[in-house]
Amino acid sequence: MSSQHPIGRRPGDPEVTRSAVLDGARSTFAEHGFERATIRGIAARADVDPALVLHYFGTKEQLFVAAHQLPFSPEEVAAAIFDGEIEDLGGRIARFYLSALAVPGSPAVSLLRASATHENAAEMLRTFIDLTLMGPGIETVPAPDRRFRMSLVAAHLLGVLFGRLILEIPELAGADLENIIRPLSTTFQRYLTGQV
Amino acid sequence: MSSQHPIGRRPGDPEVTRSAVLDGARSTFAEHGFERATIRGIAARADVDPALVLHYFGTKEQLFVAAHQLPFSPEEVAAAIFDGEIEDLGGRIARFYLSALAVPGSPAVSLLRASATHENAAEMLRTFIDLTLMGPGIETVPAPDRRFRMSLVAAHLLGVLFGRLILEIPELAGADLENIIRPLSTTFQRYLTGQV
């Protein structure tokens, strides 16, 4: 049966193939970074046809998300934060990220811990920020310096997650999430559309 | 005389040796994080015998604490940030911490790396925040919720340091410090005396 597989050079169970592609993707992204990693290179690492990689995962972005078990896809983030009035962008960003990540059992804990000590993980977190906060939707933020403006937002989000989940500063760890989302929303909106 | 030194490979003044060990410890902790740093590696970096490191500092934890004596005492921080008009408190905090810590060679690098993975270091960082930002001078911040207000400031500072020094997000790592201090000053002032 496996000899009849129409595309891949690796015969057999699709789950095995999928797992090989994910392994190949992780090591390729770690070695070359997101930008320089290619579907062709990942396919070669996994010993499968590049068409099979695309068949399973669609795009390099989606493969990146799957390989790193990220909590949400760039498309989901973009829809959640960039769809809507620019006047509420800061509030949507604060609510989306903090509701998803500033909570018990958050994947942000291991992501931040790993990023602090392993360059591979730091590269992954940088890429995730690049694909979401800095993704195509950022065009709605006024130029110039839209990436710098968004980097201030990213920094503040990182700090709240670090202070609440890693350091467990009592006033942050114990705060009602709404009491954090409110002041951050105002700050983010000023960073994105106000005077910096 | 130096050839008679009983333990270390580095001859001479104990103060010089001690200082070399502390330098080696800081760079090793910064590069590898607390867990993966070894006494052997630190000793090699300092060009001394590992036994000499233990002789001077006892344990890796004690060496870590000694190595991260920050370049200012809590009293100095309090004088720098709390002395002055309440209307400029946010600006003084942003300028003092970022000028001291958001720079090349900052002790914040190893401190954040270690805090992310080691509870002793996290406790040390929490304590440092408690002694400085949350110290006696905080009484100048309007009640109620002055500690919660200051925890938002602390979170933002942590995030800028994490994003600039650890993740090295290009827009943060490459920014002129004044361009970060300015927007943060406004944010901090609002958190401390405005509506949150």
Query: What was the pLDDT predicted at B194?
Result: 95
Whole-angstrom distance, CA of residue B127 vs CA of residue B73: 12
Provide the shortest C-alpha distance from residue A127 to chain B (in Å): 10
Mark whether B36 and B83 lie in a shared domain: no
The CATH number for A31's domain is 1.10.10.60
Residue A96: what pLDDT? Answer: 96
Pair A141, A192: CB distance under 8 Å: yes
- Secondary structure, 3-state, chain B: CHHHCCCCCCCCCHHHHHHHHHHHHHHHHHHHHHHHCCHHHHHHHHCCCHHHHHHHHCCHHHHHHHHCCCCCCHHHHHHHHHCCCHHHHHHHHHHHHHHHHCCCCCCHHHHHHHHHHCHHHHHHHHHHHHHCCCCHHHHHCCCCCHHHHHHHHHHHHHHHHHHHHHCCCHHHHCCCHHHHHHHHHHHHHHHHHCCC
Residue A123: closest C-alpha in chain B? B167
pLDDT digits (tens, 9 = 90+) for B56-84: 999 887 788 788 776 566 778 888 999 99
Listed ranges A8-12, B9-13, B169-173; the one with the highest mean pLDDT: B169-173
pLDDT exceeding 70 applies to what percent of chain A? 94
Predicted local distance difference test score (pLDDT) of residue A4: 44
Same domain for B159 and B183, yes or no, is: yes
Tell me which chain B residue has its CA closest to the CA of residue A115: B167
Q: Which residues of chain A have a CB within 8 Å of the CB of B144?
A: none
Do B25 and B60 lie in one domain? The reply is yes
Nearest chain B CA: its distance from A143 CA (Å): 14
Structural domains counted in chain A? 2
Q: Which residue does chain B place closest to A189, by CA atoms?
A: B187
Alpha-carbon gap: B60 to the closest alpha carbon of chain A (Å): 17
> Above pLDDT 70, what percent of chain B?
92
Q: Do B155 and A175 touch (CB under 8 A)?
A: no
Question: What ipTM was reported for this prediction?
Answer: 0.82
Whether A159 sits inside 8 A of B164 (CB atoms) is: no
The CA distance from A55 to the nearest CA of chain B, in Å, is: 32
Residues B51, B79: one domain? Answer: no
> CB distance B158–A159 less than 8 Å?
yes
Domain that holds residue B105: 74-193
Mean pLDDT confidence for A160-180: 97
What is the tens place of the pLDDT at every residue in A56-67? 999 998 898 888
pLDDT exceeds cutoff 80 at B2: no
CB-based contact A126 B187, cutoff 8 Å = no
| Residues B54 and B114 placed together within one structural domain of the fold | no
Interface residues of chain A, partner chain B, Cβ below 8 Å: 112-113, 115-117, 122, 125-126, 129, 147-148, 150-152, 154-160, 162-164, 166-169, 171-172, 175, 179-180, 182-184, 186-187, 190-191, 196
User: Do B147 and B57 belong to one domain?
Assistant: no
pLDDT score, position B126: 86
Identify the domain boundary among A41, A67, A93. Answer: A67
A75 vs B75, higher pLDDT: A75
Count the neighbouring beta carbons within 10 Å of the beta carbon of residue A174: 11
pLDDT tens profile B44-59: 999 999 999 999 999 8
What pLDDT shows up at residue B67?
A: 84
Q: Are the beta carbons of A168 and B122 separated by less than 8 Å?
A: yes
Give the pLDDT score at A3: 42
Percent over 90 (pLDDT), chain B: 60
Question: pLDDT confidence of B118, banded at 50, 70, 90?
Answer: confident
Pair (B63, B78) in one structural domain = no
**Residue pLDDT, tens place only, B144-172:** 999 999 999 999 999 999 999 999 999 99
Instruction: Tell whether A126 and A167 lie within a shared domain.
Output: yes
> What residues of B are in contact with residue A113 (Cβ under 8 Å)?
116-117
Whether A183 sits inside 8 A of B175 (CB atoms) is no
**End residue of a domain, out of A24, A51, A67:** A67
